[in-house]
Amino acid sequence: MPESLSIASPSDVTEPTLFPLNTARVAISILFTVLDSWAVVAFGGTLYHVSAHHPVWLTGIVLLFLSLFASLARIWYLALPVRPR
């Protein structure tokens, strides 16, 4: 009987990476946290003073910062391996 070639399933074949995926996710999360923190510190006060007497503008800026913090929370949630798989 001739020897048949076995085909490995895609889950068995892994490509070597330079660094683990989780390390890359944490590094990207740190980078985004630093950049977002810089944006809040640099522009938060100015945007508040500009929109202080305009309720619609203030609401928009609050929503902007809330979405920024929500995206940071999502990035860290995906980066940290504490969630069940």
Q: What is the pLDDT of residues 38-74, one digit of tens each?
A: 998 999 889 889 888 999 999 999 899 999 999 999 9
pLDDT in the model for residue 79: 86
Quote the pLDDT of residue 33: 92
pLDDT of 13 strictly over 60 = no
Residues 58, 47: Cα–Cα separation, whole Å: 8
Q: Which of 78, 68, 82, 80 is nearest to 32 (CA)?
A: 68
- Rounded to whole angstroms, how far apart are CA atoms 67 and 45? 17
